[in-house]
Amino acid sequence: MRGVDGKESGGIRIAPYDPSWPRQAAAAIDALRAAVPGLFVEIEHIGSTAVPGLAAKPVIDLMAAVHDLAHAAPHQATLADLGYRPHDNGMTDRLLYVRAADGVRSHILHVVTLESWPTRNQRLFRDYLRAHPADAIRYARLKQTIVAAGTGPGEYARAKTALVQELTDRARSQLGLPPVPVWEKP
């Protein structure tokens, strides 16, 4: 797969910001709301593609809140009709669905509880990067450096963790929230 500036990158591609990403997210959100009316109390575009100007893996991350995770189970077939397949990566505090074509991920849907919604690190991190362009640039450069070094998909997230933790801690502190670990995988 091609990385920054088209270089080979061990399977991870960081693309320059694409102004169509918010439109792609909005279309996916509209399709989800129409397909499962009333299931999602909240739904937002998260991740790097939700930060204007930020280079990112070209995957639209969405986070949706439900009253109870069990409420999503009856809608598995409908979500599958939209291309969202359940994905188990070991996290127990959410349901994860991946949409892919020909093995290439295009969307990830994180379904979380409404109770946890206000303090979700991914949302807080996104908002922090939107409000702090210099830190967004630091984050983009780190991602590009990691990919240029040939870091594979299994280590990519871990290689970003220290900076993500630092910036998320700042975001949480600004809101009067205590720091919590950003690494969520077992």
The pLDDT score that the predictor gives to residue 94 is 94
Helix (H) or strand (E) holding 104: strand 104-113
Residue 184 confidence (pLDDT) above 90 = no
Mean pLDDT of all residues in 11-33: 96
Q: What angle do CA 151, 153, 156 make, to 5 degrees?
A: 60
Could you give the strand order of the β-sheet that contains 95-101, starting from the edge strand earlier in sequence? Answer: 42-46, 60-66, 104-113, 95-101, 84-86
pLDDT for 91 equals 84
The mean pLDDT of the chain is: 92
Give the tens place of pLDDT for each residue, 68-90.
999 999 999 999 999 999 999 88
Q: Determine which of 73-82, 89-98, 110-119, 125-134 has the lowest per-residue pLDDT on average.
A: 89-98
Give the pLDDT of residue 89. 82
Q: Is residue 182 in a domain?
A: no
pLDDT at 1 over 70: no
When pLDDT is averaged across residues 24-48 and rounded to a whole number, the result is: 97
Residue 116 lies in a domain: yes
Residues 64 and 43 sit within 8 Å (Cβ to Cβ): yes
**Residue 180 in domain:** no
Q: Work out the pLDDT band at 185, boundaries 50, 70, 90.
A: confident
Residue 12 is assigned to a structural domain of this protein = yes
111-115, 122-126, 145-149, 167-171: which has the minimum mean pLDDT?
A: 145-149
Q: What is the pLDDT of residue 9?
A: 40
- Average the pLDDT over 122-133 and give the result: 98
Q: Which of 66, 150, 80 is nearest to 110 (CA)?
A: 66
What is the domain extent for residue 97?
4-174
pTM of the model: 0.91
Q: Count up the domains in the chain and report the number.
A: 1
169 in a structural domain: yes
Contact 11, 147 (CB under 8 A): no
The pLDDT score that the predictor gives to residue 6 is 35
Check whether 154 has a pLDDT greater than 80: no
CATH of the domain at 24: 3.30.460.10
Among the listed residues 117, 124, 140, 137, the one whose alpha carbon sits nearest the alpha carbon of residue 55: 140
9 compared with 54, residue with greater pLDDT = 54
Task: Indicate the angle between helix axes 153-174 and 121-131, nearest 10 degrees.
Answer: 70
Domain for residue 185, yes or no?
A: no
Kindly state whether residue 57 falls inside one of the protein's structural domains.
Answer: yes
Residue 181 lies in a domain: no
The pLDDT > 70 percentage for the chain reads 94
